[in-house]
């Protein structure tokens, strides 16, 4: 290292030169025994090879290196150095300590990076600017991004495959639990809780709705309607093993006693508005389908409260409530 002697303005004392690089001392260090001074960089590199002073061959270990005297530091501080791009037109003159930073950012340094002024927004070394081609560079950048996007897509596809595998595994576990439930009352109880919980998790994703006209309720849907409801349940993410359970609950004869006949519904009409009702996606079902879940309706009297949930198809008169402020009350159904 060291500062180029040729750039120093005026005379340089010989004792300010590094015996290793022959330039002006940079970050000078001296041997505590023989007092010979060197650039820190030069002597540290030297010591890695030989542990002797390069001038008089006396012993020299890293612990022997100390900062040079104040006198020498003052002499170095008085020196002024020109910019190494003086030939390119730089007129700066500075103390040694400012030299490295200046050169790195000197506007006459051909390697200084500047912003392309033709609008591509790239930063280019000044001396490469004449060869710089915005379109070419941008095309390369674009290609990099295209590659990156396709890598991300691949990753996403991989994650989706894994997710669907997990879903499939979960379904199998749910079928397994369903099979166990039929034989073991403890597992039946846990299974019922799990069903209520997963139904509510799904239910929470559906918008709340208001039923305006209970009179337009279809109490015994035909097969095409049945199919639409199934599609609505599946595509809205209803847990697979519960789709059939809910499907069975879209006829009045499977509804709670207080809803099971026209007469009973008329009798309870004043209570029906108290139901917390959710809406299946109308685009898929064609007709508004309300979902009334047990977990949402713990406040209803027993003869109106569904165990898991019921589906009600209406001709019209069901509207989504703009937003759903109620948090999911975990404790109520677990």
Interacting residues toward Zn ion by CB under 5 A: 2, 18, 20-21, 34, 36, 39, 42, 53, 55-56, 83, 85, 90, 92, 106, 116, 118, 120, 134
Q: What is the 3-state secondary structure (H, E, C) of 180-199?
A: HHCCCHHHHHHHHHHHHHHH
39 beta partners: 28
Considering the complex, state which of residue 90 and residue 308 has its C-beta at the smaller distance from Zn ion: 90
- What minimum distance in Å lies between the beta carbon of 117 and Zn ion? 8
Considering the complex, state which of residue 136 and residue 175 has its C-beta at the smaller distance from Zn ion: 136
Residues in the chain: 334
| Cβ 19 vs Cβ 36: under 8 Å | yes
- What minimum distance in Å lies between the beta carbon of 62 and Zn ion? 15
Radius of gyration (Cα) for the chain, nearest Å? 41
- What minimum distance in Å lies between the beta carbon of 143 and Zn ion? 16
Contact residues for 267 (Cβ-Cβ < 8 A; gap 6+): 258
Q: What is the 3-state secondary structure (H, E, C) of 134-163?
A: HHHHHHHHHHHHHHHHHHHHHHHHHHHHHH
- What minimum distance in Å lies between the beta carbon of 54 and Zn ion? 7
Considering the complex, state which of residue 99 and residue 255 has its C-beta at the smaller distance from Zn ion: 99
The pair of three-digit structure tokens given for residue 194, joined into one six-digit string: 């799990």
Considering the complex, state which of residue 2 and residue 295 has its C-beta at the smaller distance from Zn ion: 2
Considering the complex, state which of residue 85 and residue 275 has its C-beta at the smaller distance from Zn ion: 85
DSSP 217-252: EESS--HHHHHHHHHHHHHTT--HHHHHHHHGGGSG
- What minimum distance in Å lies between the beta carbon of 127 and Zn ion? 15
Does the CA dihedral 263-264-267-273 come out positive or negative? Answer: negative
Considering the complex, state which of residue 83 and residue 312 has its C-beta at the smaller distance from Zn ion: 83
DSSP state of 21: T
- What minimum distance in Å lies between the beta carbon of 94 and Zn ion? 9
Considering the complex, state which of residue 55 and residue 284 has its C-beta at the smaller distance from Zn ion: 55
- What minimum distance in Å lies between the beta carbon of 53 and Zn ion? 3
Q: How far apart are CA 184 and CA 205, in angstroms?
A: 32
């Amino acid at each position: 290292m060291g500062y180029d002697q040729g750039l120093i303005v005026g005379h340089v004392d010989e004792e300010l030169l590094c015996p290793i690089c022959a330039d002006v001392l940079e970050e000078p260090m001296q041997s505590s025994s023989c007092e010979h001074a060197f650039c820190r960089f030069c002597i540290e590199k030297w010591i890695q090879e030989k542990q002797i002073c390069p001038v008089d061959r006396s012993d020299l270990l890293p612990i022997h290196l100390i900062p040079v005297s104040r006198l020498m530091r003052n002499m170095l501080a008085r020196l002024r150095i020109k910019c190494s791009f003086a030939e390119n037109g730089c007129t700066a003159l500075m103390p040694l300590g400012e030299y490295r930073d200046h050169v790195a950012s000197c506007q006459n340094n051909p390697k200084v990076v500047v912003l392309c002024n033709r609008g591509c927004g790239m930063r280019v070394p000044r001396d490469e600017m004449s060869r710089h081609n915005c379109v070419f560079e941008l095309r390369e950048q674009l290609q990099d991004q295209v590659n990156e996007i396709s890598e991300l897509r691949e990753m996403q596809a991989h994650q989706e495959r894994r997710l669907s595998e997990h879903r499939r595994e979960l379904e199998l576990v749910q079928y397994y639990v369903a099979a166990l439930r039929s034989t073991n009352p403890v597992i039946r109880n846990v299974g019922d809780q799990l069903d209520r919980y997963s139904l509510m998790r799904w239910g929470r994703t559906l918008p709340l709705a208001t039923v305006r006209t209970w009179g337009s309720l279809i109490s015994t849907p035909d097969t095409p309607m049945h199919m639409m409801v199934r599609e609505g349940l599946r595509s809205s993410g209803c847990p697979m093993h519960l789709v059939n359970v809910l499907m069975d609950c879209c006829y009045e004869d499977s509804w709670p006693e207080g809803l099971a006949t026209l007469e009973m519904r008329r009798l309870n009409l004043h209570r029906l508005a108290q139901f917390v009702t959710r809406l299946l996606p109308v685009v898929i079902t064609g007709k508004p389908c309300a979902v009334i879940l047990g977990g949402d309706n713990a406040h209803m009297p027993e003869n109106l409260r569904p165990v898991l949930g019921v589906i009600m198809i209406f001709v019209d008169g069901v509207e989504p409530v703009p937003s759903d402020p109620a948090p999911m009350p975990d404790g109520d159904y677990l």
